Chains A and B, each alone.
Chain A
Amino acid sequence: MSADPEFENLVKLYYRDLYRFGFSLTRSEVDATDLTQETFYIWANKRHQLRNPANVKSWLFTTLHREFLKICRRRKRVADEPINEAAQNLPHVSADVVNRIDAQTMLDALGQIDEDYRAPLVLYYLEDLSYKQIGNVLAIPLGTVQSRIARAKIKLLQLLSETKTPHRRIEK
């Protein structure tokens, strides 16, 4: 039992969303778990700096993303090719294909998208954040958020359109 009900409530409220964000970024259960834990521990030590409690959700996502970027730097990750597709190249994906794709296939496709584009796209799909809030979380301007999401979405749909059948399920 926690001696800090505020901490406990916050964890119960957001740990799933943060874990999903972390998992979508890293595709690793261990990394997503570490990122989620670290995010809450940072909040526990810095909560008094958060002037507006209404912004706690954005603050947590921002923190997790920053921690993720640290991991990327530590691992000297080589950036993927930037996405150059124009919006008019939106591929046609049949409803049947989209409906049959499983979560693991979706995550594999996401993993092929450069992190700069993946993070805004994941927030676009997973969280009910406005574009401005997504920009605040990732510290990028609104116009950049929208262009990155648009390009990443086209890329994702292209990848999904090339998918034949779901190949495996997420292993817990």
Chain B
Amino acid sequence: MNTSEAKEKLLLYRGPIDHADPQFREALACAHRDPELAEWLREQVSYYGVIRSKLREVEPPGDLAEKIISNQPIPSGRDWTQILKLAAAIIISAAITAVSMKLWQRDAHRLTHGREIVVRGEVLDLTCYVAYNWSGPKHASCAMDCIKSGLPVGIKAEDGKVYLLTGKEAHVNAELADYAAKIVTIKGKETAREGFAQIQVEEIRKF
């Protein structure tokens, strides 16, 4: 690196705050070897300090903090946008479930039956997972409530594949609600409708 290239790099160097930044390492080494460059750098850092201190002379109006604090808006407490989105997701999910059940009754032959499988994975509240990609321990409490309320329950296998768990609805939801976001093993018959993978649950191993 020559002096000109080092200056290009060191143009942004602010002093101690940037000392650990690896992008300046080589240029700083140049400055150690080159007294003229070192002097230029000292001058630049000194200008930085002066300009910074001048800009920091700007003071807000004396009563600004008090004014902001006294006019604090009453927190809404809830994010209505999120709530509306969740409500929309639940309605859509419920509609899909209703349509699926209707089709199941009218068009059961269209369900593709597969082999018996055993899948180990995380219990999902499918509504939130499909709508928002919410899963995992942080979402466990919400998932538990959704599953308890009867929303579709699924499992995300260790290979990443997601299945809708079917069977006696109340039975599956009641059995798995307390295991939301936890790892269980499901044994059952793999089925699919319109490409959407499902397992007709026969056995649940909670360990």
Binding site for B on A (CB under 8 A): 2, 4, 7-8, 11-12, 15-16, 19-20, 23-24, 29, 32-33, 36-37, 40-41, 44-49, 87-88, 90, 93, 95, 98-99, 101-103, 106-107, 122, 124-126, 128, 130-131, 146, 149-150, 153-154, 156-157, 170, 172
Q: Bound complex: CA of A172 vs CA of B57, how far in Å?
A: 12
Q: Does B67 touch A at the CB level, under 8 Å?
A: yes
Q: How far is the CB of B125 from chain A (nearest CB, A)?
A: 20
Among residues of B, the one whose C-beta sits closest to the C-beta of A86 is: B8
Q: Taking the complex as formed, is B195 at the interface, i.e. its CB lies under 8 A from any CB of chain A?
A: no
A150 to B12, CA, bound (A): 6
**Given A37-B67, A125-B52, A149-B12, A7 and B17 contact (CB-CB distance below 8 Å):** no
Give CA–CA (A24, B52) in the complex, Å: 12
Cβ of B205 within 8 Å of any chain A Cβ, yes or no, is: no
Q: B54 contacts A102, CB within 8 Å? A: yes
| B73-81, B84-92, B146-154: which lies at the interface | B73-81
Chain B residues with CB below 8 A from A101, complex form: 54
Size category of the B interface is 35 or more
Consensus secondary structure, chain A interface: helix
Across the interface, A36 reaches (CB within 8 A) one of B46, B68, B73, B79, namely B68
| 8 A Cβ contacts from B9-36 to A | 11-12, 14, 17, 21
Asked if residues A90 and B57 are in contact (CB atoms below 8 Å), the reply is: no
Question: Of residues 37 to 51 in B, which have CB atoms within 8 Å of A's CB atoms?
Answer: 43, 46-48, 50-51
Known: A24-B58, A170-B58. A125 touches B51 (CB 8 A): yes
Contact for A33 among B43, B50, B58, B60, CB less than 8 A: B60
What residues of chain B lie closer than 8 Å to A154, measured between beta carbons? Answer: 11
Interface residues of B (CB under 8 A from A): 4, 7-8, 11-12, 14, 17, 21, 43, 46-48, 50-52, 54-61, 64-65, 67-73, 75-76, 79
3 nearest CB pairs, A to B: A19-B60, A103-B57, A106-B54
Whether A16 contacts B60 by the Cβ 8 Å rule is yes
Give CA–CA (A83, B57) in the complex, Å.
27
Q: With A40-B68, A46-B79, A98-B51 as known contacts, state yes or no: A20 contacts B8, CB within 8 Å.
A: no
Query: Closest Cβ of chain B: how far from A133's Cβ, in Å?
Result: 11
Contacts of B64 in A (CB 8 A): 15, 19, 33, 36-37
Query: Is the CB–CB distance between A44 and B72 below 8 Å?
Result: yes
Chain A residues whose C-beta falls within 8 Å of the C-beta of B56 in the assembled complex: 20, 126
- Contact across chains for A95 and B46 when beta carbons are under 8 A apart: yes
